[in-house]
Structure 1
């Protein structure tokens, strides 16, 4: 069946609009991702924008002046984690309810931290609601897929209709389906070794930071709480004694070593280096747990029920002993793996020689 002139014209206009939309999208992408000022891969720089939360966000927002993709991630890091930091600062002064929401915000922040680093490493300009809009305003970019213009309505004319120009002989390329691309990357996320390494390290770093904050600033609130109905107030007696100050230095050192070690593990690919770092982390972790077991800065006698207090003391001691055994086994396994990797490297060197 032969097409009428109006149908041919409509098809031509639609095809032309698709080509123009594709070209405009590609031009927009080229415009916002020029060469970077910082001599690093953009996806690595994007991860670093989030790694140190708003601090590295500010650093890269100032240092990077060319690549707007990197500047967007830096700006979003500032907005997201700067806003969460302000919220935490306010909630810290609100008793009970504020402390509860502080923990909630910490959990949300850690989840966002991991997601944003993963998406940045995958090369995606992942935009959070509101925060992403503010970041776009700060950077001055926004990717929009233009809509296809509608052909002008056909008007009646007394003159004979002119034959429309012939439609393109080759079909135009399809517009990139960004959602489909993201879905495919999510499906293969944990199949990528390096991405999985970043995820594990990010969780370990986040957990270390949480422990650092809790035991240095909030340990007094790990306590036995009682409610006075007459005065309608809460009172608490902390489970920790002043002996915790003997344990905190080695605990803080172990956490600092853990954070630094897992940051290095994100980029380290050599097996010998990786196993050595794990040995150091597990060694300090074992020392921290053994010190806590020896010092035992706990006083569960604040629990009115004597039986419950006794069982709690026993349970904590058993748990710490079990934790020390786990660290010891992990340390032994890492040492064995390190020796195996050293032997393999020696064999490869001798074979190549």
Structure 2
């Protein structure tokens, strides 16, 4: 009974991950141009100033590919859910996530100069980079911890039979 409940829980988690990755692909593929600063001009017309530079389009294939890999990996995990395989896949996905975020930091496709607040314009690039660095480090630490736990668990299973 315990195994069935945990297996069911993991399947729900994999299914949610698949759904969420599809949502992200749709959003970033179709709606990225709406990531902008909006204001109303003196004439009453809506002024839209994009926060993303054209460099964002060079990051999109990397993002879409990584999200697609996540979808395929979670489908495979629904079918084949052995501990060592699940952990290896999660480690791989975390390393891919870290690489995607690092590439985003490198190209940094954000233009905060469109924001009409000098303090925000000055602070947001630093805050954004700090958050992205934190996310990247979190991916790396998580992958390392998973790897260590996986090795220790596999080693313990070999000794205990």
Q: Flag whether TM exceeds 0.5 (same fold).
A: yes
In 1, Cα distance between equivalents of 2:15 and 2:121: 36
CA-based RMSD: 1.9
CA distance in 2, matches of 1:197, 1:217: 30
2:71 is aligned, of 244, 247, 259, to: 259
Tell whether the 8 Å contact from 1:224 to 1:238 is kept in structure 2 after alignment.
Answer: yes
Provide the residue aligned with 2:9 in structure 1: 196
Secondary structure of 2:40's counterpart equals: strand
Distance 1:347 1:327 in 2: 30
SS of alignment partner, residue 39 of structure 2: strand
Partner of 2:126: 314
1:218 aligns with 2:31: yes
Secondary structure (helix, strand or coil) at the match of 2:75 reads helix
Pick from 109, 117, 122 the counterpart of residue 305 of structure 1.
117
CA distance in 1, matches of 2:53, 2:24: 18
| 1:251-290 superposed Cα distances (whole Å, 9 cap, x missing partner) | 1121111111112222323111111110111111010001
Larger Rg: 1
CA contact (8 A) 1:286 1:328 kept: yes
Query: Does the aligned pair in 2 maintain the 1:271–1:341 contact within 8 Å?
Result: no
| SS of 1:236 mapped into structure 2 | strand
Q: Unpaired runs of 5+ in structure 1?
A: 1-190
TM-score, normalised to structure 1's length?
0.43
Structure 2 partner of 1:142 = none
CA distances 1:141-195 after superposition (whole Å, capped 9, x unpaired): xxxxxxxxxxxxxxxxxxxxxxxxxxxxxxxxxxxxxxxxxxxxxxxxxx91122
* 3-state SS of paired residue (2:109): coil
How many correspondences in the alignment? 159
**Greater helix content:** 2
1:238 aligns with 2:47: no
Q: Scaled by the length of structure 2, what TM-score is found?
A: 0.89
How far apart are residue 229 of structure 1 and its match?
5.1
Task: Give the unaligned 5+ runs of structure 2.
Answer: none
The correspondence for 2:87, drawn from 259, 275, 278, is 275
**2:153 & 2:77 partners in 1: Cα distance?**
16
Structure-1 separation of matches of 2:72 and 2:81: 16
Q: Residue 158 of structure 2: SS of its match in structure 1?
A: helix
Distance 1:202 1:310 in 2: 40
Structure 1 stretches (4+) deviating beyond 6 angstroms?
none
Contact 1:275 1:337 in 2 (8 A): no
1:320 and 1:251 mapped to 2: Cα distance? 14
Please state whether the residue corresponding to 1:242 is helix, strand or coil.
coil
Higher relative contact order (CA 8 A, sep 6+): 2
